[in-house]
Amino acid sequence: MALYEASATQLLSQLESGEVTSVEVTQACLDRIREHDGAVGAFLKVMDEKALAKAAEVDRKRKAGEDLGLLAGVPVAVKDLLCTEGEVTTCASKMLENFVPPYSSTVIKKLEAADAVIVGKTNMDEFAMGGSTENSALGKTRNPWNTDLVPGGSSGGAAACLAAQMVPLSIGTDTGGSIRQPASFCGVVGLKPTYGRVSRFGLIAFASSLDQIGPMARTAEDTALFLEAMAGHDPQDSTSANVACPLFSKTVDQPLEGLRIGLVKEHFGEGLDSEVEKSVREAVAVYEKLGAKVVDISLPHNKYGIATYYIIAPSEASSNLARFDGAHYGHRCDEATMLEELQKEKEAFEAAGDELGLKRMDTPLIRMYRQSRAEGFGPEVKRRIMLGTYTLSAGYYDAFYLKALKVRRLIREDYDKAFKAVDVIVGPTAPNPAFAAGSKTNDPLAMYLEDLYTVTANLAGIPAISIPCGMTSGGLPVGLHMQAPALEEDRLLRAAYMFQKETAWHAKTPSL
């Protein structure tokens, strides 16, 4: 087996036995990236030198018998919205194209403490808004299974680099499905933890009550190990759960006895691709063979998930993104040209004797904000800011935002009720397999429907995972979505492991 094919768990045992060094492993990943990322476009930045230096340092520590972290010497990719001290962090936006954070996010610090080797930063939809990575202002990412197709999004680069075997571990973030949908499109594993399980300190916020950072990998075991390395209480994030973090990697291989699986009747209706449905039903049959009991359940408010999410997420985004104004943060327009244009406008109003026009003119400061934001943000981000500003404005707040919060509560209560009867809820991750690049870019609503099955877990704050569970006749991966009650990631990982022991979907790889 080539080094790039190995899982993190396999690499760790080879590193521990001295069979390979971290420098060799890291170099294998860097070579793989150099060879194939031209076609895939998963990375916005590759940090060759830093990665090799870290790998050499870990090798030295290992040789000297020093204490080593959980991921000692294993290459990891990071979505480019996690602050990395001294390294550009762009959110795939022109707004932050040159932003170098003065500090690292908690998750990055934890990975460094775990002795992981960070090899690069991955492409994404701008500010994590989107489901195809086509909203990136800085590059295109394609699906390694077929480069005419999108990898999903917003963690499209994160999923694509795993599928293309460029790294064994990759960090994503999920506000409404951005870890799980790309995992499903690329045939890898992606877990959105419980809200509060992983610190958001140093994550550039999209919608703060929904955002979660989570692990992506090719196997359940690796996902468990990776989550263990990044999770845990952090006093710097006031929403971080102050609970002990289980050792996920120690329990992942323990099968779940008497598992009760909930099938949501609302999940199998209109809009679901028939081949996706077939794979999901076959996966459920695998669990039945393993002794699980299937229970039909209903989540009656699920149908309001998309509407609720697309009010709450843009509302929070409009508030979070207010800081990018060219003064506090972000791209600033060219001031000399801006002032010249403002002067010309003034002269035109004066020549026309337009008093009102003169009165309504921007001050230079307001014009600087306005123009910097107009230049820095892409169309989808602007759409969200406008939507969110509208739903939060006086007169509409009650009708939209407040109502959405009430529906959010009902969605959560549906889950509370369902989890009295079942242990996990199982269904499709996305309504369809990967789609053609460009096919949904002019239809935002079609793009929003990608999140049909995933947004409710974010609204309820519960953990959810996507694992590969089949292939379409066209050779594209299908993802199985599993949801569990808050703080029960362990249950999802064990269920995923059980499935992977029985099947080989996760071992399939695209030929590049």
Q: Which residues bind ligand GLN (CB under 6 A)?
A: 128-131, 154, 174-178, 206, 313, 451
Task: Write down the least CB distance from residue 451 to ligand GLN, Å.
Answer: 5
Task: Write down the least CB distance from residue 96 to ligand GLN, Å.
Answer: 16
Task: Write down the least CB distance from residue 22 to ligand GLN, Å.
Answer: 32
**Out of 136, 178, 372, 466, which one is annotated catalytic?**
178
Task: Write down the least CB distance from residue 316 to ligand GLN, Å.
Answer: 11
Task: Write down the least CB distance from residue 173 to ligand GLN, Å.
Answer: 6
DSSP code for 302 = G
Exposure on the CB side of residue 355, measured as CA atoms within 13 A? 0
R_g (Cα) of the chain, nearest Å: 23
The backbone torsions φ and ψ at residue 14, rounded to the nearest 5 degrees and listed phi first, read: -65, -35
Exposure on the CB side of residue 33, measured as CA atoms within 13 A? 28
Which is closer to ligand GLN, CB of 178 or CB of 371?
178
Q: Which residue is nearest to ligand GLN (CB)?
A: 178
Which is closer to ligand GLN, CB of 154 or CB of 466?
154
Contacts of residues 83-89 at CB distance under 8 Å and 24 or more positions apart, as own/partner, are: 83/108, 83/202, 83/203, 83/204, 84/108, 84/118, 84/121, 87/45, 87/47, 87/50, 87/121, 88/45, 88/121, 89/121, 89/204
Of residues 493, 488, 421, the one with CA closest to residue 457: 488
**Out of 22, 154, 170, 315, which one is annotated catalytic?**
154
Structure-token pair, residue 89: 């962090």
79 is a catalytic site residue: yes
3-state secondary structure 16-68: HHCCCCHHHHHHHHHHHHHHHHHHHCCEEEECHHHHHHHHHHHHHHHHCCCCC
For residue 471, the one-letter residue type is M
**Out of 79, 110, 192, 440, which one is annotated catalytic?**
79
Task: Write down the least CB distance from residue 179 to ligand GLN, Å.
Answer: 7
Which is closer to ligand GLN, CB of 130 or CB of 157?
130
- Taking the CB of residue 425, how many other CB atoms lie within 10 A of it? 25
Q: DSSP for 325-336, please give it.
A: SSSSBS----HH
Task: Write down the least CB distance from residue 381 to ligand GLN, Å.
Answer: 10
Which is closer to ligand GLN, CB of 128 or CB of 492?
128
Which is closer to ligand GLN, CB of 127 or CB of 248?
127
Which is closer to ligand GLN, CB of 129 or CB of 230?
129
Continuous H helices in 298-422: 305-320, 335-352, 355-360, 364-376, 379-392, 403-421
- Integer Cα distance of 310 and 228 in angstroms: 31
178 is a catalytic site residue: yes
Q: DSSP for 192-222, please give it.
A: EPPTTSS--TTBPPSSTTT-EEEEEESSHHH
Residues 289/365, Cβ–Cβ less than 8 Å: no
Which is closer to ligand GLN, CB of 192 or CB of 301?
192
- Integer Cα distance of 165 and 30 in angstroms: 11
Of residues 448, 244, 304, 500, the one with CA closest to residue 482: 500
439 is a catalytic site residue: no
Residue 292: alpha-carbon gap to chain centroid: 30
Which is closer to ligand GLN, CB of 41 or CB of 131?
131
- Integer Cα distance of 129 and 391 in angstroms: 18
Task: Write down the least CB distance from residue 156 to ligand GLN, Å.
Answer: 11
Residues 161/183, Cβ–Cβ less than 8 Å: no
- Catalytic residue list: 79, 154, 178
